[in-house]
């Protein structure tokens, strides 16, 4: 028998400004459940979570909370006012009987001392303090609204591990696919005011959602055809010419009403980048670059080469210097030593963390056009600003809306629209995934993958990096940076660990000029990306060589070949000998790698 729910919302209705936001939404949370709450930006996810937390009153429906259950809610924008320190803020969330030492442990794990004054905190630090406050009591139900926003990758990985070992029931809203897929065991989809539930985690959601939308489209098509048949009968049917059938008229009216009341799925963002000229083959070449601010070393002796078409991810903890490294690699900041050479015909477009410094009072249309009229140029062709706005899911009525009145997701789309409108062949994206919904993330990934130029991206989104990056530059600590082939998962496999900073080395003696830096300490040995690739592809190569050897052997078995074609016989004999040597070497390599894999995994 299933356990009774700790929290239940049933048939919830809510209307804002005459527009229905929720029309019969439901959310049922039982002990230990982990639920991903997903939906488009503006669909009402945060509002539904606030209703569940008792912070927003609904117009209709029922909310039930088990009397003995404890619920903690993490808002997107926590308010720490009224508290002298972060520790006082966290301890205020504890109930009698809760472990007081857990507040200090969580703050320390999240990189805070507990003595920080709330008024001096950055957005990321305030989010960490709020996380400590909701996690400290070990509540029965955790309601987490974008818990990974403003967190760097080490904090995200720590939070995921901490939530994984908690027994609390959870409802999670997040744009981080990896985070949702690893933690959720059920999915609630909020779409057009109603909820649908899938008793599987987020990893199964997208395929299920596509099936639901496809079935809806088929049902809508059937309804349209039924309306056409009824209208045809009314106009041309024999019975219709003698006498109108009241029942059929009522049926047609009902079908038309049903069609009008259907809320179609929201459109999708159209992401098209304005392409510039083709750049040279070499985009960036950095040789032994270094940068320090006072005693703090940001980059030390780093070299890399970026070629046209590369997609380079840059990862590391907050404060490691990712933005500084990007500025040096793009020529916006001079290194203290070393050289940076930029390729020919580069046209740079950049999306920065400040969302290109969008001013709150600027109108949406002016933000896109630069205040210079009603048109902008995309790929050499003029576009009216309203049409371009529609590509990013803005309505014509929003053209004069100040940027400050848009949601976080809408501001993210404005910044993307601005950056993609600039002709470019070198695209630099600094945290592009913040505040974007999953559908827009899909399109951004496709756009980056199809972009004909070069892309450099700073991101804390592991799934995004896995899908788009051809290499990842990782901050190893103490100014050291290492480049790994492949995406985020490949970097973890080669490095033997995630992005948690390695312990800083003791101060080193001065290095003679020109002498290369000592390699960073090795983590626990794992198969490298190259070794894994060889282990997977060598069996196919061996089979191909077997077929080649068999074909050559059959040709050489012809007794008359030497007499007819001595040169051909000699050529085939040499080819057979070489193929057999390559097969023997491939078999030896595969055997060595297989033994190494068994040793490491054992």
- In this structure, are 104 and 194 located in the same domain? yes
Provide the domain count of the chain.
4
- In this structure, are 213 and 121 located in the same domain? no
What is the span of the domain harbouring residue 314? 282-495
Give the pLDDT confidence score for residue 36 in this predicted structure. Answer: 95
Which strand (E) or helix (H) includes residue 286?
Answer: strand 282-293
pLDDT (tens digit per residue) in 45-85: 999 999 999 999 999 999 999 999 999 999 988 889 889 99
Report the alpha-carbon angle 411-416-419, nearest 5. Answer: 125
Contact 66, 5 (CB under 8 A): yes
For helices 101-109 and 123-135, the axis angle rounded to 10 degrees is 140
How far is it, in rounded angstroms, from Cα 130 to Cα 151? 12
For 478, list phi and psi in degrees, rounded to 5: 55, 35
Q: What is the chain's Cα-based Rg?
A: 30
Which strand (E) or helix (H) includes residue 186?
Answer: strand 186-191
Q: Is the pLDDT of residue 309 over 80?
A: yes
In a domain, 276, yes or no: no
- In this structure, are 235 and 300 located in the same domain? no
Would you state the torsion angle of the CA atoms of residues 470, 475, 480, 485, taken in this order, to the nearest 10 degrees?
-20
In a domain, 277, yes or no: no
Q: Is the pLDDT of residue 496 over 70?
A: yes
- In this structure, are 241 and 342 located in the same domain? no
Name which of 253-257, 265-269, 306-310 the model is least confident about. Answer: 265-269
Q: Is the pLDDT of residue 255 over 70?
A: no
pLDDT (tens digit per residue) in 186-215: 999 998 889 999 999 999 998 898 888 888
- In this structure, are 381 and 486 located in the same domain? yes
In a domain, 268, yes or no: no
- In this structure, are 199 and 122 located in the same domain? yes
pLDDT confidence bin for 365, thresholds 50/70/90? confident
For 240, list phi and psi in degrees, rounded to 5: -65, -35
In a domain, 25, yes or no: yes
How far is it, in rounded angstroms, from Cα 88 to Cα 22? 37
Give the pLDDT confidence score for residue 494 in this predicted structure. Answer: 84
In a domain, 503, yes or no: no
Mean of all residue pLDDT scores within the chain: 81
Q: Token match 């193929």: residue?
A: 579
Q: Pick the residue with more confidence: 508 or 256? A: 256
What six digits make up the tokens of 561? Answer: 């070949």
Q: Is the pLDDT of residue 506 over 60?
A: no
pLDDT confidence bin for 519, thresholds 50/70/90? very low
pLDDT (tens digit per residue) in 169-191: 999 999 888 999 999 999 999 98
CATH number, position 315? 3.40.50.300
- In this structure, are 328 and 340 located in the same domain? yes
**What pairs with residue 427 in β-bridges?**
349, 455
- In this structure, are 300 and 406 located in the same domain? yes
Q: How many residues does the chain have?
A: 602
- In this structure, are 57 and 186 located in the same domain? yes
pLDDT confidence bin for 521, thresholds 50/70/90? very low
Q: Residue ranges of the alpha helices (H) in 237-377?
A: 238-242, 246-261, 322-329, 364-369
Q: How many CB atoms lie within 10 A of CB 159?
A: 21
- In this structure, are 479 and 374 located in the same domain? yes
Q: Residue ranges of the alpha helices (H) in 262-371?
A: 322-329, 364-369
Give the pLDDT confidence score for residue 251 in this predicted structure. Answer: 57
- In this structure, are 470 and 339 located in the same domain? yes
For helices 488-495 and 529-556, the axis angle rounded to 10 degrees is 100
In a domain, 272, yes or no: no
198: Cβ contacts below 8 Å, ≥ 6 apart: 186, 187, 188, 189, 204, 205, 208
């Amino acid at each position: 028998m299933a356990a009774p729910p700790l929290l239940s919302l049933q048939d919830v209705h809510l209307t804002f400004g005459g527009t229905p936001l929720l029309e019969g939404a439901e959310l049922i949370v039982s002990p230990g459940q982990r639920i991903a709450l997903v939906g488009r930006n503006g669909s009402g996810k945060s509002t539904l979570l606030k209703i569940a937390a008792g912070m927003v009153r609904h117009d209709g429906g029922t909310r039930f909370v088990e009397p003995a259950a404890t619920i903690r809610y993490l808002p997107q924008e926590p308010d720490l006012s009224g508290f002298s320190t972060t520790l006082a803020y966290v301890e205020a969330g504890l109930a009698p009987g809760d472990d007081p030492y857990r507040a200090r442990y969580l703050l320390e794990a999240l990189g805070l001392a507990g003595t920080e004054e709330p008024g001096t905190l950055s957005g990321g630090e305030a989010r960490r303090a709020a996380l400590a406050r909701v996690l400290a009591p070990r509540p029965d139900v955790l309601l987490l609204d974008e818990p990974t926003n403003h967190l760097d990758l080490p904090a995200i990985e720590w939070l995921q591990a901490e939530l994984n070992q908690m027994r609390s029931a959870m409802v999670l809203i997040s744009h981080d696919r990896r985070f949702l897929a690893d933690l959720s065991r059920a999915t609630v989809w909020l779409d057009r005011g109603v909820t649908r539930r899938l008793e599987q985690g987020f990893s199964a959601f997208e395929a299920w959602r596509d099936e639901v939308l496809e079935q809806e489209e088929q049902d809508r098509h059937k309804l349209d055809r039924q309306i056409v048949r009824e209208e045809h009968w009314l106009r041309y049917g024999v019975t219709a010419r003698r006498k109108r059938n009241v029942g059929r008229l009522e049926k047609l009216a009902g079908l038309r009403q049903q069609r009008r009341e259907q809320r179609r799925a929201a459109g999708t963002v159209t992401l098209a980048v304005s392409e510039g000229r083709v750049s040279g083959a070499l985009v960036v070449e950095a040789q032994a670059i270094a940068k320090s601010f006072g005693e703090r070393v940001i980059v030390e002796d780093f070299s890399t080469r970026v070629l046209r078409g590369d997609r380079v991810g840059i990862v590391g903890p907050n404060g490691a210097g990712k933005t500084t490294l990007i500025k040096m690699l793009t020529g916006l900041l001079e290194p203290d030593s070393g050289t940076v050479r930029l390729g020919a015909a580069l046209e740079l477009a950049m999306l920065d963390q400040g969302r290109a410094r969008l001013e709150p009072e600027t109108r949406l249309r002016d933000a896109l056009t630069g205040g210079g009229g009603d048109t902008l140029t995309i790929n050499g062709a003029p576009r009216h600003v309203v049409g371009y706005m529609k590509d990013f899911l803005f309505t014509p009525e929003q053209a004069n809306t100040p940027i400050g009145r848009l949601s976080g997701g809408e501001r993210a789309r404005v910044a993307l629209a601005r950056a993609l409108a600039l002709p470019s062949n070198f695209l630099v994206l600094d945290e592009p995934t913040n505040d974007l919904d999953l559908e827009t993330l899909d399109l951004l990934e496709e756009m980056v993958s199809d972009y004909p130029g070069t892309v450099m991206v700073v991101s804390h989104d592991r799934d995004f990096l896995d899908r788009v990056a051809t290499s990842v530059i990782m901050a190893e600590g103490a100014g050291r940076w290492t480049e790994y082939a492949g995406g985020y998962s490949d970097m973890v496999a080669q490095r033997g660990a995630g992005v948690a900073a390695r312990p800083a080395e003791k101060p080193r003696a001065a290095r003679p000029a020109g002498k290369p830096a000592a390699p960073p300490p090795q983590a626990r040995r794992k198969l490298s990306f190259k070794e894994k690739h060889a282990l997977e592809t060598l069996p196919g190569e061996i089979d191909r060589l077997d077929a080649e050897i068999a074909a050559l052997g059959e040709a050489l078995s012809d007794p008359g070949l030497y007499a007819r074609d001595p040169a051909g016989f000699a050529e085939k004999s040499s080819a057979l000998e070489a193929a057999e040597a390559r097969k023997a070497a491939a078999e030896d390599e595969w055997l060595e790698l297989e033994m190494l894999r068994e040793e490491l995994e054992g």
